[in-house]
Amino acid sequence: MRDLTRIQRLDALPRLLSLAAGHTAQLLNISDLASPFQVSRPTIRNYMALLERIFLLELLPPWRSNCLSRLVKTPKMHIEDTGVACALLGLNAATLKKDRSVLGHLLETFVFQELRRQASGHVDEFRFHHFRDKDKTEVDIVIERGADEVAGVEVKASATIKQADFRGLRKLKIAAGKRFTSGVVLYDGESSVSFGDNLYAVPIRSLWESK
């Protein structure tokens, strides 16, 4: 890191990474990240950029559509390795089972990184985003292929799925129009189920299990 840039407070970087791990899969908020440190927000922003350059953090840009002007323009932050995140936060399987909120954020990050990994070996180019509007309706991951195809992925740390879980995907479908190809809710269940209009509930394990 010293070779990449001049760091004023090198000791702050491990603490900042731990703090970022606790905010994975959430909208980037520089003020929240800067508050524990006696350094300015621009400095913290520079440190965040450095952590991106050494592949410890990744910022997921917002998806934009000309037909929906009320979209939130803030990127979402993901730590690059959920195992590292758990180590930094002192989490294990038992603690994750007790805290479903933390599990949900880490699971979303895990799914995002797994989708990125699989897309990297594909002949087509895929671009990844997140979707969120001013009403806090969101889709965890938006995938674009070329200029004509948009798909959405929502991640739920739950064994049951209901119609309300597709609210964000339905709004994405409206915004994307004819470009929308499908929307998937990945959940901790056993069966793949159609919810109509190219919307599906699919077990998370399908990401790594071959049929």
In percent, how much of the chain has pLDDT > 90? 66
Query: Confidence band (pLDDT; 50, 70, 90) for 6?
Result: low
> What DSSP assignment string belongs to 99-123?
-HHHHHHHHHHHHHHHHHHHHHTSS
Identify the architecture of domain 58-207 in CATH.
3-Layer(aba) Sandwich (3.40)
Per-residue pLDDT of 79-88, as tens digits, reads 999 999 999 9
Question: How far out from the chain centre does Cα 122 lie?
Answer: 20
Return the bridge partners of 199, or none. Answer: 183
Q: Where are the domains of the chain?
A: 58-207
Query: Confidence band (pLDDT; 50, 70, 90) for 165?
Result: very high
Tell me the pTM.
Answer: 0.90
∠ CA 133-155-91, rounded to 5°: 115
Per-residue pLDDT of 28-77, as tens digits, reads 999 888 888 877 888 888 888 889 988 999 999 999 876 556 678 899 99
| pLDDT at residue 5 greater than cutoff 70 | no
Instruction: Please report the pLDDT score of residue 211 as a whole number.
Output: 57
